[in-house]
Amino acid sequence: MTRIGMGIVGAGFVGPHHIDAVRRLGFVDVVALACSSDESGREKAEALGVRKGYGSYQALLDDPDVHVVHNATPNHLHYEVTSAALAKGKHVVSDKPLAMTSAQAKRLVAEAQRAGVVAAVTFNYRGNPLVQQARIAIARGDIGPPHFLHGHYLQDWLLKDTDYSWRLDPEKGGPSSAVADIGTHWCDLAQHVSGLRITHVLGDITTVVKKRRKPTMSREAFQEASGDGELVDIGVEDLASVLVRFDNGARGSFSVGQVCGGHKNDLVLEVCGAKASLRWRQEDQNELWIGHRDRANEVLQKDPSLLDERVRGYARLPGGHQESWADAFLNVMREIYTCVAAGPPYPALSPVVATFEDGFRANRIVDAILESAADGGAWTRV
């Protein structure tokens, strides 16, 4: 198999996980990374064992050895970097959200189509074996038609007023913080697992921590605060609750927040159908809860021998060997790079991978939630 060259722009919190995942594929070379200065490019490349470290994304895009560009920059750079990569004919793996606004996301869908390359968004929870088991179970009718989808995505890393991230600056993160950052994961997961589409939303959003200490030095996501810096007003939400309606008439609700003590990466999705319910929780990701009316509830352990044969390949380890966030991320990367390796005309991405259209849909859901909240909580069409 021809080896594929990967280059990544942005090597903060999530960037190194992109690198780890593609390294495990075996047929991909991590050729280069790009940071915002020559110095940080050199330092990060050395720290992560990457051959070339560039000080600008343009230099990385000019490198002929880079075939696939991963965009792991803060949201305000997503459109610029992805658009430039597509214009150079590179495949793109964009971290979520696809873009800071729906208008930008829509343009990227068209630009990717014109470029004729592989273009994917990392809604990576799709790659978990038990998420796929739930998707297959619902598609084959195991729980009957879904009528209620609910859950949450709660974190606590922005609980203190000394916690700060570019996500809280609308110039860098966009008009939404919690909803765009983690609410998009919940919505993508709910739609992916159920096969349904969110058509209407009613959002209630709020900013719990209204003033924060903005550090003088930039910090990567989840890094502990030092408490220095000036006090700034925060205008974007850190907590939201949303009612949703799906295209089959199913109802739903979810809450998102980064100010919920004790919740680290607590993503939960439950789908209640006419016959039974299914629940998956990211923090206990090796278990799938199956709820029954007329018999005892069950917990399906992640064990390849117990999974549907279409799902088995996503479990890398035997039962009892816990799989993780990184393994699900790898599953998504494997699907993406399998398409790249197939060569032109590139086959359609597996449903396990979110497309740019899916990314655009996520941006539109965020818009509708913000619009609904601004209207005082009116039902709003996506």
Ligand X SMILES: NC(=O)c1ccc[n+]([C@@H]2O[C@H](COP(=O)([O-])OP(=O)(O)OC[C@H]3O[C@@H](n4cnc5c(N)ncnc54)[C@H](O)[C@@H]3O)[C@@H](O)[C@H]2O)c1
**Pairing status of strand 119-122 against strand 277-281:** unpaired
Q: Considering the rule CB under 6 A, would residue 367 count as an interface residue with ligand X? A: no
CB of 131 to ligand X, least distance (A): 13
Q: Considering the rule CB under 6 A, would residue 13 count as an interface residue with ligand X? A: yes
CB of 180 to ligand X, least distance (A): 8
Please identify, using beta-carbon distances, which residue of 74 and 151 lies nearer to ligand X: 74
How far, in Å, CA of 163 to CA of 285, rounded?
27
How far, in Å, CA of 193 to CA of 267, rounded?
14
Find out whether 256 and 155 touch, Cβ atoms under 8 Å. Answer: no
Contact map string, positions 45 to 64, toward ligand X, x by CB under 6 A:
------------x-------
Q: Which residues 6+ apart lie within 8 Å of 50 measured at CB?
A: 19, 30, 31, 32, 33, 44
* # residues near ligand X by CB under 6 A: 24
Q: Considering the rule CB under 6 A, would residue 28 count as an interface residue with ligand X? A: no
Please identify, using beta-carbon distances, which residue of 45 and 276 lies nearer to ligand X: 45
Q: Considering the rule CB under 6 A, would residue 38 count as an interface residue with ligand X? A: no
Stretch that binds ligand X, among 13-21, 84-92, 189-197, 228-236 (CB under 6 A): 13-21
How far, in Å, CA of 107 to CA of 360, rounded?
9
Q: Considering the rule CB under 6 A, would residue 215 count as an interface residue with ligand X? A: no
How far, in Å, CA of 227 to CA of 212, rounded?
9
Please identify, using beta-carbon distances, which residue of 125 and 314 lies nearer to ligand X: 125
Q: Considering the rule CB under 6 A, would residue 252 count as an interface residue with ligand X? A: no
Please identify, using beta-carbon distances, which residue of 72 and 198 lies nearer to ligand X: 72
Please identify, using beta-carbon distances, which residue of 159 and 180 lies nearer to ligand X: 180
Q: Considering the rule CB under 6 A, would residue 153 count as an interface residue with ligand X? A: no
Contact map string, positions 95 to 114, toward ligand X, x by CB under 6 A:
xx------------------
Please identify, using beta-carbon distances, which residue of 74 and 129 lies nearer to ligand X: 74
Please identify, using beta-carbon distances, which residue of 260 and 333 lies nearer to ligand X: 333
Q: Considering the rule CB under 6 A, would residue 221 count as an interface residue with ligand X? A: yes
Please identify, using beta-carbon distances, which residue of 122 and 128 lies nearer to ligand X: 122
Residue in 82, 124, 155, 286 binding ligand X, rule: CB under 6 A? 124
Contact map string, positions 161 to 180, toward ligand X, x by CB under 6 A:
-----x--------------
Q: Considering the rule CB under 6 A, would residue 12 count as an interface residue with ligand X? A: yes
- SS3 track for the chain: CCCEEEEEECCCCCHHHHHHHHHCCCCEEEEEEECCCHHHHHHHHHHHCCCEEECCHHHHHCCCCCCEEEECCCHHHHHHHHHHHHHCCCEEEEECCCCCCHHHHHHHHHHHHHHCCCEEEECHHHHCHHHHHHHHHHHCCCCCCEEEEEEEEECCCCCCCCCCCHHHCHHHHCCCCHHHHHHHHHHHHHHHHHCCCEEEEEEEEECCCCEEEECCCCCCCCCCCCCCCEEEECCCCCEEEEEEEECCCCEEEEEEECCCCCCCCEEEEEEEECCCEEEEEHHHCCEEEEECCCCCCEEEECCHHHCCCCCHHHCCCCCCCCCCHHHHHHHHHHHHHHHHHHCCCCCCCCCCCEEHHHHHHHHHHHHHHHHHHHCCCCCEEC
Residue nearest to ligand X (CB): 12
Please identify, using beta-carbon distances, which residue of 100 and 288 lies nearer to ligand X: 100
Q: Considering the rule CB under 6 A, would residue 359 count as an interface residue with ligand X? A: no
Q: Considering the rule CB under 6 A, would residue 208 count as an interface residue with ligand X? A: no
Find out whether 30 and 52 touch, Cβ atoms under 8 Å. Answer: no
CB of 11 to ligand X, least distance (A): 6
Residue in 4, 6, 8, 14 binding ligand X, rule: CB under 6 A? 14
Stretch that binds ligand X, among 29-37, 134-142, 186-194, 316-324 (CB under 6 A): 29-37
Stretch that binds ligand X, among 66-74, 84-92, 138-146, 277-285 (CB under 6 A): 66-74
Query: Which residues in this chain contact ligand X in the complex, by CB under 6 A?
Result: 9-15, 34-36, 57, 72-75, 77, 95-96, 122, 124, 166, 181, 220-221
